[in-house]
Structure 1
C-alpha cells in the first residue's frame, strides 16, 4: 500500500473512532436523561441502540486488525492503531454502561434517597469522556493528565454517594406493612447506578492513558 493510501486509511480510522465516541456520548446522555425523567421510551431507545454501537465496534476492530496485520505499521503509526484499538474497546464498554442506565430506568419502582445527586455524577463522567476524546483528536498530552486527576474527584463523589445511601438505609424506619424487598431492590439499583458511572470515568481515564501513549510514547497513565 502506497504511503498516501495508507495515510488515508489511518485518517478514516481516526474519523470513525471519533464518530463512535460521539454516538456513545449521546447514548450516555440519553441514558442519564431517561433516568432523571423516568422516560421509559427514551430508556428503550438507549437499550435498542446498543446493537449499533456493537456493530460499529466490530467493524473498527476489523479495520485495526487489517492495518496491524497487513500493513505492519511502525513507530507513531503503530502506536496510533494500537491505541485506537484499545480506545474503541473502552467506548464499547461505556455504551454497555449507558444501556444499563436504560435498564435501571425500566426497573425503577420509586425515587429513593433524593440526597444522592446522580445527575451531577453523570454529568462529570460524560464530560470526562468527551474531554478524553478531544485529547485523542487534538493529540493533547496535558489534557490526559487533567482527566486522570479529575477521576480522583469522581471517585470521591461516588464514594460519598454510596455512603449516603448506606447511612440513610440504616436510619430508615421501616413502616409496618412496607415492602422491604422492593425497598432493597431500589437501593441495589441506585448503588449499581453509582458504580456504573464510576466505571465510565475509569474508561475515560483508559482513553486518556492510551492517548498519552499514542502521542508521547509514555505508559505513565496505563495501569
Structure 2
C-alpha cells in the first residue's frame, strides 16, 4: 500500500475511535437522564442501543487487526494502533455500564437517598472520559497525567456515597411491624444504588485506562498502565 493510503487508514482509525467515544458518551448521558427522570422509554433506548456500540467495536477491532497484520507498523504507528485497540475495549465496557444504568432505571421505584448525588458523580466521570478522548485526539501527555490524578477525587466521592448508603441502612429502624416485602424492597433499592455508584466509579477507571494508553502511545511511557 502506498504511504499516502496507509496514513489515510491511520487517520480514519483515529476519527472512528473518536466517533465511537461520542456514541458511548451519549449512551452514558442518556442512562443518567433515564435514572434521574425514571424514564423507562429512554432506559430501553439505552439498553437496545448497546448493539450499535458492539458493532462499532467489532468493526474497529478488525481495522486494528488489518493494520497490524497487513502493514506491519513500527515504532509510533504500532503504539498508536495498539493504544486504539485497547481504548475501544474500554469504550465498549463504558457502554455496558451505561446499559446497566438503563436496567437500574427499570428496577427503581423510589429515591431513598437524596444526599447521594448520583448525577454529580456521573457528570464528573463523563468529563473524565471526554478529557481522556481529547488527550488521545490531541496526543497530550500532560492531560493524561491530570486525568489519572483526578481519579482520586472520583474514588473519594464514590466511597463517601457508598458510606452514606450503608450507614443509613444500618441506622434505619426495622421493627416487628415491618413486612417482609418492605424489607426485600429496601434491600433491592440499596443494592441497586450501591451498584450504580460502583459502575460510575468503574467508568472513571476506564477513563484512566484510556489516558494511560494514550500516554504510552505518545511518549512510550507505561507508568500509568501499571
- Does structure 1 residue 194 correspond to structure 2 residue 197? yes
Q: SS state of the match for residue 105, structure 2? A: helix
What is the match of residue 35 of structure 1? 35
Separation in 1 of the partners of 2:188 and 2:215? 41
Note the 1:17-166 alignment, pairs <5 A: 17-166=17-166
Aligned pair partner of 1:184 in 177, 183, 187:
187
In the TM superposition, structure 1's runs of 4+ consecutive aligned residues that sit over 6 Å from their partners are none
Between the aligned partners of 1:8 and 1:31, the Cα distance in structure 2 is 35
Count of aligned pairs: 223
In 1: Cα distance, 2:78 partner to 2:2 partner: 16
TM-score (norm 2): 0.97
Q: Aligned partners of 2:136, 2:20: CA distance in 1, in Å?
A: 13
Partner of 2:12: 12
Report how far residue 29 of structure 1 moved: 0.4
Structure 1 length normalisation: TM-score?
0.99
| Residues in 1 aligned to 2:174 and 2:6: alpha-carbon distance in whole angstroms | 66
1:195-210 paired onto structure 2 within 5 Å: 195-210=198-213
Partner Cα separation in structure 2 for residue 116 and residue 137 of structure 1: 34
- Measure how far apart 1:174 and its partner are: 2.4
Superposed displacement of residue 112, structure 1: 1.2
Pair 1:214-2:192 in alignment: no
Distance 2:22 2:201 in 1: 20
* CA offsets 1:129-177 (integer angstroms, 9 cap, x no match): 0000000000010000110011000000000000000000011112523
Give the distance between the partners of 1:204 and 1:153, measured in 2 at CA. Answer: 13
Q: How many Å separate the matches in 2 of 1:161 and 1:214?
A: 35
Name the SS for the 1:56 alignment partner: helix
